[in-house]
Structure 1
Amino acid sequence: MSFDGSFTHAMVTELSAQLTGGRISKINQPYPNEIIITIRSNRKSYPLLLSANPSYARAQVTAIPYVNPPVPTNFNMTLRKYLSGSVLTNITQSNNDRVIQFHFTVRNEIGDLKSMVLIIEIMARHSNVILVDGSDRRIIDAIKRIGPDKSRYRTILPGDEYVNPPKQDLIDPFQFNDWNQLSELVTTFPNRDVLAGSLQKTFQGLGRDTAAQLARFLHASNALDQQFKTFFNQFDHPVPTMIDAKKPIFLPFKPIGIDAPLKQYESLSLLLDHYYQTKAQRDRVREQGGVLIKVTKNELKKNRNKIKKLEQTLADTKHADDYRIRGEVLTTYLNQVHNGSTTIELPNFYDNNAPIKISLSPEKSPSQNAQWYFKQYQKKKNAIKFVHHQLDLTNADIDYFDNILSQIELAAPSNLVDIKAELQQGGYLRDHEHQNKKKALRQKISQPEQFKASDGTVILVGKNNLQNDRLTTKTADKRDTWLHTQKIHGSHVIIRSFDPSDQTITEAAILAAYFSKGRDSANVPVDYVQVRHVKKPHGAKPGFVIYEGQNTIYVTPTKAMVDQLRANNDQ
């Protein structure tokens, strides 16, 4: 299900119960299109997420951690100026549209109460978060400013009067009571799929999944009015449900006629956290790590091109012996070579005296021509050793940047700071923040994520090369157990136990496989060995180690197990 108007209705009901009467304590903008407003209500803090992300626009209370940028945005500062300390008095929805209005009261500079409205419009790429003066509906600012060059219908700029989005000429289902019209619809369209499409064109705020479920409800009984009321009453008393299919669907009620497994949640917000966590995180990583991804891909492209050139050079060196043979033949028959000649044919004693044609430089003497062939032979012979060395170095670089790209793909936004620092330290990414040439402070490496096995043993998982290096070479005890996927890029995992149980090793191996490039594979091989047998070669790139004496276990990573081990740590 999409975040349609009917789901918006259910979310407004849930948020109103949680937040109304609460006071704003914090306002942050961790991502370009997302605001998190912490509201203190009923002795509890609720992080309210308002997202204008084109793909994942929504409003909810979120439990997913976030990292703030070092400098707040202008819009964030505007929200803090006008809303800090304000009280949320009401949450309303425009008809059954995907527009939510959060009404606040706050005291101005002279102590008078002032009304402010924060509006979120959930409309795909047109989504927006807009701060409006409650007294005259003038726009103070928006997370996305829309000028006349982008919209003919309305502009969203500071000082403009706020104009509602274009209104659809459809019926609000929560205000509907014309049962004859409903009966006519059902009679005219007996096919359930066709009826669902007609319901979407008749009632406002029905997404495809909502309309399909409503059509099922109406076909289930002849008491159309009761079925219709029952269906929409569910949005006032939601049962947050996830259809666990190949393409998961979230609903605010328990669906009918669905064969796939269903999973229920305590709240709509928790449902959305689970649905969007991976998708939204990847989008945020792509958004925040765009420069890192570009630099890494450029380095990969550069090194792969270098490999092609080196392999071509290596192919050329295979003919090095041809130069040696020509040099030796020339030396043997120098008395037959005349000055100024450009070519000569001489018997090749390496090939039963078959004639061999040798090119000559007329400016060189016969002896100099022979020496030139010997020099070319030596040059190509030396090149073989050099090229093999360069191939080894370049392949190592490719492996390194492949690993970096894998880490970015698996990273949470908070992990990007370490990856950025690593690329800066390696000279691959220019450190724009320290162009003043002042001595930069040493980058503080973030902590690895901590999990707990079923028996309570602590398991630590590094999420990037800097974390992996510190975890393996500095933090871990030499008697701890170290795990890593076999020949697959992934995290270093440490079991904080000198003698872990087989169950703990299996659970740690699942973590190692999950936080690796083999996340979506079955039977992933994971090596484990005591930390004492893991060494970092001198001068090796971050995250690179060698080890010996390992055992190998095969596991299939699952998100459910990872979530359980994470929950164990939170208890």
Structure 2
Amino acid sequence: VNYNKLNPFNHDFIENNNLSKVYQGMSPILSKEILFRHDNGKDFKTIINEIKESNHLYISNTNEKEYFHLIPLTHLQVTPQVYRLFDGLDQHFDLIDQKERIKQQTSNLLKFISNEYQKNITKLLKLQATLESSKNSDEYRIIGDLLYSNLHLLKKGMKHIELDNYYDNTKIMIDLDEKLSPKANAQKYYNKYQKAKNSINVLNEQINLTKKEIEYFDSLLTLMDNASYYDALEIKEELENLGYLKKKKKINSIRKNKKPAFETYYTKDGIEICIGKNNLQNDYLTFKHAHRYDTWFHVKDMPGSHVIVKGDQLDEYTIRLASNIAAYFSKGKNSSSVPVNYTLVKTLKKPNAAKPGQVILDKYKTIYIDPDASCLEELRKK
């Protein structure tokens, strides 16, 4: 105990931009909360009494980390999960322990996915730069035209020549290969033009493929963020099936015939909701397990879980709950007003030669949701 600091329960508010330097037992995060509330007209003693009398724990998830305290941390601008005090502590530290164990057991997998994602980002930048330079191929054609039009001025052994550019009425200095004849020099520029022109089509194809790879590995990073140990094993299996990772020689026949283990829950009204936690689960859930008149939910234009709700006539509560789940298990987890598409399974199609987890939507509706982990508390396990 630092006896130079004040007991917040016995002293009034003292102006300071870091109250943890003034009061005993006050963390930086609590200091920020008290200053935030004080700036918005809340009395210091009222805040301290709220802490003293609280028997709940408020857990707030942000993009950076998870925070918890005896009072809501309103300055974080997120909706907290609320627990009875010791239940909340168990929840918080169990989650930390679980994430640490998963991190240790799957760190190599996560590292591989992250490296592939970054590698393709770098590749895309290089391809785009090459494409930009290739777009100047018309310059080679113009030079070829000018050389052919002025063959009488060219002689073998010349290193360069200045000609009138009748395309824009300027002078142009052209480098020549002294070992080539005038016609061969002109043809050399035509060849450069044709090569650059052909490369544009190849580059565009490579850019599209690389963008798909970036999208794919970005989706895996999102899925890993929400993955249990067994979900991560299925992600590893997916990468092996696609040839990104080498399969182990030993084949586990039991695992080979096992169905992807998606999660199944029920709402308070007894409606079944299924959640895919990786691409293998998403594919199986949507195209094999779900009935064509079930309702499918997924965040719009970003990676995330497929959510299937049994039935096609859903009330507003169920639609919002399923949309919240889809938003929570997605890259938009820590965002606000996340768009979620929903439609009947019968309208979905699997793209040709597509990677697991990808679908084509036909008719769908969109709802905007602020993701909230408390939606999971409204579900009960199968």
Structure 1 length-normalised TM: 0.53
Shift in Å, 1:249? 4.8
2: CA distance, partners of 1:540 / 1:562: 31
Match of 1:192 in 2: 7
Question: Which letter does structure 1 place at the counterpart of 2:108?
Answer: V
> Does structure 2 conserve the Cα–Cα contact (< 8 Å) formed by 1:289 and 1:408?
no
Q: Which runs of 5+ in 2 are unaligned?
A: 11-24, 27-53, 61-66, 71-79
The separation in 1 between residues aligned to 2:210 and 2:57, in whole angstroms, is 47
Residue equivalent to 1:309: 126
CA offset at residue 193 of structure 1?
6.9
SS of the residue corresponding to residue 506 of structure 1 reads helix
Quick one: which of 260, 267, 272 aligns to 1:446? 260
> Is residue 287 from structure 1 mapped to residue 92 from structure 2 by the alignment?
no
Q: Is the 8 A contact 1:326 1:373 kept in 2?
A: yes
Deviation at residue 424 of structure 1 after TM alignment:
1.4
Cα displacement string for residues 180-206 of structure 1 (whole angstroms, at most 9, x for unaligned residues):
xxxxx9xx99953799xxxxxxxxxxx
1:483 to partner: Cα distance = 0.8
* 1:143-184 deviation digits (Å, cap 9, x = unpaired): xxxxxxxxxxxxxxxxxxxxxxxxxxxxxxxxxxxxxxxxxx
Aligned partners of 1:275 and 1:438: how far apart in 2? 35
Shift of 1:271: 4.9
How far apart, in 2, do the equivalents of 1:274 and 1:452 lie?
A: 21
Structure 1 Cα separation of the partners of residues 5 and 195 of structure 2: 84
The aligned counterpart of 2:46 is none
Pairing partner for 1:264 from 84, 91, 105: 84
CA change 1:508–1:374 in 2 (3 A) is same
Deviations 1:332-391 (A, max 9, x none): 121221112111122222122x32221111121111111111110011111111111111
**1:498 pairs with 282, 288, 312, which one?**
312
2:343–2:363 CA contact under 8 A, matched in 1: yes
Q: Measure the CA separation in 2 of the matches of 1:417 and 1:380.
A: 44
Rounded to whole Å, the distance in 2 between the matches of 1:244 and 1:350 is: 72
Higher helix fraction: Structure 1 or Structure 2?
2
Q: Highest CA radius of gyration, 1 or 2?
A: 1
CA RMSD of aligned residues (A): 3.0
Question: Which residue matches 1:409?
Answer: 225
Q: Is the 8 A contact 2:57 2:88 kept in 1?
A: no
Residues 342 and 359 of structure 1 are in contact (CA less than 8 Å); yes or no, is this contact kept in structure 2? yes
3-state SS, counterpart of residue 200 of structure 2: helix
Whole-Å separation in 2 of the counterparts to 1:271 and 1:351: 75
More strand by percentage:
1
Q: What secondary structure sits across from 2:256 in the alignment?
A: coil
Contact persistence 1:343–1:358 (CA under 8 A):
yes
Tell me, in whole angstroms, the C-alpha distance in 2 between the residues paired with 1:194 and 1:506.
Answer: 43
1:358 is aligned, of 174, 186, 196, to 174
Structure 2 counterpart of 1:391, one-letter code:
I
Distance 1:277 1:488, change over 3 A: farther
1:400 aligns with 2:216: yes
For residue 564 of structure 1, what is the amino acid of its counterpart? E
1:439 deviation in Å? 9.7
Which of 49, 68, 79 matches 1:248?
68
Whether the 8 Å contact between 2:81 and 2:374 is mirrored in structure 1 is: no
Answering whether residue 247 of structure 2 is matched by residue 427 of structure 1, we say no
Aligned to 2:353, what secondary structure does the other structure show?
coil
Separation of aligned partners in 2, 1:506 and 1:400: 27
Aligned to 2:340: 526
Residue 474 of structure 1: which of 288, 292, 296 is its match?
A: 288
- The letter for the 2-side match of 1:549 is K
Q: 1:380 to 1:301 in 2, by over 3 A?
A: same
CA offset digits 1:52-85 (Å, max 9, x no partner): xxxxxxxxxxxxxxxxxxxxxxxxxxxxxxxxxx
Classify 1:320/1:540 alpha carbon distance in 2 versus 1 (closer, same or farther; 3 Å). Answer: same
Question: Cα 1:303–1:190, aligned 2, differ >3 Å: closer, same or farther?
Answer: closer
Identity of aligned residues (%): 37
Per-residue deviation, 1:264: 2.7
Q: Does 1:382 find its partner at 2:194?
A: no
Structure-1 separation of matches of 2:58 and 2:324: 22
> Deviation per CA, 1:271-311, whole angstroms, max 9, x where unpaired?
54322233222222211110111101110121111112112
Q: Which ranges of 4 or more aligned residues in structure 1 deviate by more than 4 Å? A: 188-191, 260-263, 436-441
Match of 1:347 among 149, 164, 169: 164
Q: Per the alignment, do residues 438 and 248 of structure 1 end up closer, same or farther by CA in structure 2, a change over 3 Å counting?
A: closer
Residues in 2 aligned to 1:190 and 1:340: alpha-carbon distance in whole angstroms: 88
Q: Which amino acid aligns with 1:476?
A: A
| C-alpha deviation, 1:443, in angstroms | 6.3
Higher relative contact order (CA 8 A, sep 6+): 2
TM (normalized to structure 2)?
Answer: 0.77
Give the Cα separation in 1 of the matches to 2:82 and 2:321.
Answer: 26
CA deviation vs aligned residue, 1:491-526 (integer Å, no higher than 9, x gap): 011111132222211111111111111122222211
Partners of 1:339 and 1:364 within 8 A in 2: yes
Which residue does the alignment assign to 2:18? none
Instruction: Measure, in 2, the Cα distance between the counterparts of 1:329 and 1:556.
Output: 63
SS in 2 for 1:347: strand
Secondary structure of 1:303's counterpart equals helix
Which amino acid in the other structure matches residue 192 of structure 1? N
Report Cα offsets for 1:521-567 as digits up to 9, x if no partner. Answer: 222211001112211111111111121211011122222221221x2
C-alpha deviations, 1:221-275, integer Å up to 9, x for none? xxxxxxxxxxxxxxxxxxx95432653258xxxxxxxxx998436xx5x554322
What one-letter code is carried by the residue in structure 2 that aligns with 1:404? L
Aligned to 1:337: 154
Q: Is the 8 A contact 1:421 1:443 kept in 2?
A: no
